Amino acid sequence: MVPNSKPMLLNQGLRTSLSSDHDMESDWVAASQHGDNRAFNQLVLRWEKPIYNLALRMLHDPDEAEDTTQEVFLAAFRNIRRFRKDARFSTWLYRIAVNHCLSRLRRRPQGVHVSLDAERSGERVLNRLPSRESHEGEILSEERQSHVRLALQFLQPEHKAVVELKFFHDLTFEEIAAVVEAPVSTIKSRLYAGLEVMRYRLGAFASDI
């Protein structure tokens, strides 16, 4: 019986830690809504890296990703009082980030992603990013990760957003639906369409090796 007690304690500790993090974030949100700038700065420190990585993968341009990240947190700061506590703060923040990225992508000329100089610079930065915010770097080879990130650039903006949230941020279909404000059936359709394009592109990368 003793060997089985350790995993239970570890799992309980993990649950306690996750619950504690959520409670702390809720406190920061509540304080921010009452004008506490230091509390909002804690939210920025907590979410700045995930939001920047999301923007960088979607926009494939480090300068645009940095500008977008600043715009996202400025918008969040200005509208924090409108945030309803019956929703998750991460869902609300992801919605702002995705909308800003989609807006930038739609403003680009059709068929143009970024300038050649920006693409080379962006690729160098993307190659240093994990394929996701968790442990995929331990599973995929570095070359494979690079191909996955490059394949993302061939997706339509709406498909790219769904793939990003599903595989890089571990959101459920329901959570993604809340972020992009679309039915779950639409989210699944966009995901499968995006994966088909990525499968094709990854096959093309493999044939070039």
**Rounded alpha-carbon distances, angstroms, from residue 26 to 29, 43, 52, 117:** 5, 10, 22, 42
Domain count, the chain: 1
- Domain for residue 2, yes or no? no
Give the pLDDT score at 18.
44
- Domain membership of residue 20 (yes or no) is no
The dihedral sign for the CA sequence 135, 140, 145, 148 = negative
84 is a domain residue: yes
CA-CA distance, 123 to 110, in Å (whole number)?
Answer: 21
Inside any domain, residue 11: no
Per residue in 104-139, pLDDT (tens digit) is: 998 877 654 444 344 444 444 444 444 444 444 443
Task: Tell me whether residue 200 is in a domain.
Answer: yes
The predicted-structure confidence for 158-202, as pLDDT tens digits, reads as follows: 999 999 999 889 999 999 999 999 999 999 999 999 999 988 888
In a domain, 12, yes or no: no
From residue 43, alpha-carbon distances to 66, 68, 132 in Å are: 17, 17, 20
**Highest mean pLDDT range out of 8-17, 46-55, 81-90?**
46-55
CATH number at residue 52: 1.10.1740.10
| φ, ψ of residue 75 in degrees (nearest 5) | -65, -40
* Domain containing residue 88: 27-208
Q: How far apart are CA 1 and CA 66, in angstroms?
A: 52
* pLDDT for res 72: 98
